[in-house]
Amino acid sequence: SLNPEMHLEKDAWLQEILSRLVGDKFVVTLSQYEYAIKVLEALGVRGCFADILVHGRNWHTNSKLDAYEEIRKFKGLAPAEICVVGDNPRIDLLEAIEKGYRCVAISGYNPLPSINSIATLADLPTIVQNEMSDFLDEKTLLVVSFFVTNKEALAKLRSQWSNRNSEHSRV
């Protein structure tokens, strides 16, 4: 029931952050495909991602790891050549790190000791570069996994965006 166009706006800063990341980027979400498109288009970052994988459309289990595996096999890469970024370590990252994927948590939930975390998206290029320093080339992948309808996550985004730029107080 949340309408992204009413609460989000194009974000040149986010576009630049994503453009600085080398390699293909994918979105993995439990949301509906059409909703994910609306969110990405409202933020002006749809073109930053090679594809969107949606539960029930691209994979049919309860594990996001299956979506990551689809991407990995399609691109012909080892798990360690992929960096998965998520806002909920238990849903987005725990299984992935156990299978050898590089993982980064955007803080907000209880962090897991085995997963690196960042406080804001501004730190994403640096941490991804550090995580992937031995793989950085045209094959590097970044998988962004999030659930943007989570009210706590939206509140955190609002806070981060308004701290970065007071004009971004709406989420």
Of 1-15, 81-95, 114-128, give the range with the top mean pLDDT: 81-95
Provide mean pLDDT across the span 126-149: 59
HSE-CB of 160 using CA atoms within 13 angstroms: 17
Q: What is the band of 72 on the pLDDT scale with cuts at 50, 70, 90?
A: very high
> Please, what's the largest Cα pairwise distance for the chain?
43
Distance CA 95, CA 79 (A): 12
Residue 138 has pLDDT above 60, yes or no: no
69: Cβ contacts below 8 Å, ≥ 6 apart: none
Provide mean pLDDT across the span 10-16: 90
Note the pLDDT of residue 63: 92
Note the pLDDT of residue 112: 74
pTM of the model: 0.72
Distance CA 151, CA 1 (A): 12
For 154-164, write each residue's pLDDT tens digit. Answer: 666 666 666 66
Which of residues 150 and 3 earns the better pLDDT score? Answer: 3
Q: What is the band of 68 on the pLDDT scale with cuts at 50, 70, 90?
A: very high
31 DSSP assignment? S
